């Protein structure tokens, strides 16, 4: 686990208002194969080759419209149809397959009770993030949800603008903000906005990915995350 910066150590959640931003897939919710299985099924429907499991896992986190091209080798002309097939399947069955990670809802509830403002910042389309959280009975836990636009082809800039939107929505608490995520994109987006990122070890990052990206700490359970957010390692 990496040591936290001095500024971050000086901020115990329990003693002042703070803004805590959570990624969604791989951080709050385990897709339980709904994403990788859905991608595979959509590619097969359109007669396209299915990448190996490692590549499919790497697609979880970044905007899927980009991952299909950059990691899956899907021709640009096929992406709209593949995306439509994938989204239809995800809405029909994928959201129901997903499950909150152990202890994470309790962690969020505790943070809110201690005075933190807790929100979601995800590269998932915002409307779909809202639906997933509602389906999992978690939407009420968060002050706001921030994600990609409905037109996923318009998604640019990675995680940074989504985190910025969340910070702007909670300006009164943004001075003491932190991002929680499972991929390097979460760390990079946080760094671009001048806030630390705590990585979670239960998501989709490759070994060493979060540390190499500069995560302030990497935790292995919701209880450990709560301990770190309360002001120390």
Q: Which helix (H) or strand (E) holds 122?
A: strand 116-125
End-to-end CA, the chain: 9
Query: Alpha-carbon distance 72 to 214, whole Å?
Result: 27
Which residues, including other chains, have CB under 8 Å from residue 225's CB and lie 6 or more apart?
107, 180, 198, 200, 219
How far apart, in whole angstroms, are the C-alpha atoms of residue 39 and residue 144?
Answer: 28
The Cα–Cα gap between 60 and 71 comes to 11
Q: Is 173 a catalytic residue?
A: no
The catalytic position among 23, 25, 30, 182 is 23
Contact status, residue 182 vs residue 203, Cβ threshold 8 Å:
yes
* Distance (Å, whole) CA 79 – CA 66: 9
Q: CA–CA separation, 86 vs 40, rounded Å?
A: 9
CB 58 within 8 A of CB 207: no
Tokens matching residue 193? 């906005």
Radius of gyration of the chain (CA): 17
Give catalytic residues, as residue numbers: 23
């Amino acid at each position: 686990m990496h040591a936290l910066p001095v500024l971050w150590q000086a901020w115990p959640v329990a003693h002042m208002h703070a803004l805590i931003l959570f990624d969604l897939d791989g951080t709050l919710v385990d897709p339980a194969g709904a994403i990788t299985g859905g991608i595979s099924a959509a590619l097969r429907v359109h007669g396209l080759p299915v990448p190996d499991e490692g590549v499919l896992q790497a697609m979880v986190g970044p905007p899927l419209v980009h991952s299909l091209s950059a990691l899956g080798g899907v021709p640009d002309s096929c992406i709209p149809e593949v995306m439509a097939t994938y989204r239809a399947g995800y809405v029909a069955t994928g959201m129901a397959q997903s499950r909150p990670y152990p202890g994470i809802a309790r962690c969020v509830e505790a943070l809110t009770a201690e005075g933190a403002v807790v929100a979601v910042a995800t590269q998932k389309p915002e409307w779909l993030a809202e639906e997933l959280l509602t389906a999992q009975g978690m939407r009420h836990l968060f002050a706001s949800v921030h994600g990609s636009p409905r037109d996923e082809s318009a998604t640019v800039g990675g995680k940074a603008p989504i985190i910025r939107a969340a910070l702007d929505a909670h300006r009164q608490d943004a001075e003491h903000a932190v991002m929680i995520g499972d991929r390097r994109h979460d760390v990079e987006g946080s760094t671009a906005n001048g806030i630390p990122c705590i990585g979670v070890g239960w998501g989709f990052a490759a070994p060493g990915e979060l540390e190499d990206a500069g995560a302030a700490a990497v935790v292995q359970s919701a209880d450990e995350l709560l301990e770190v957010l309360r002001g120390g390692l």
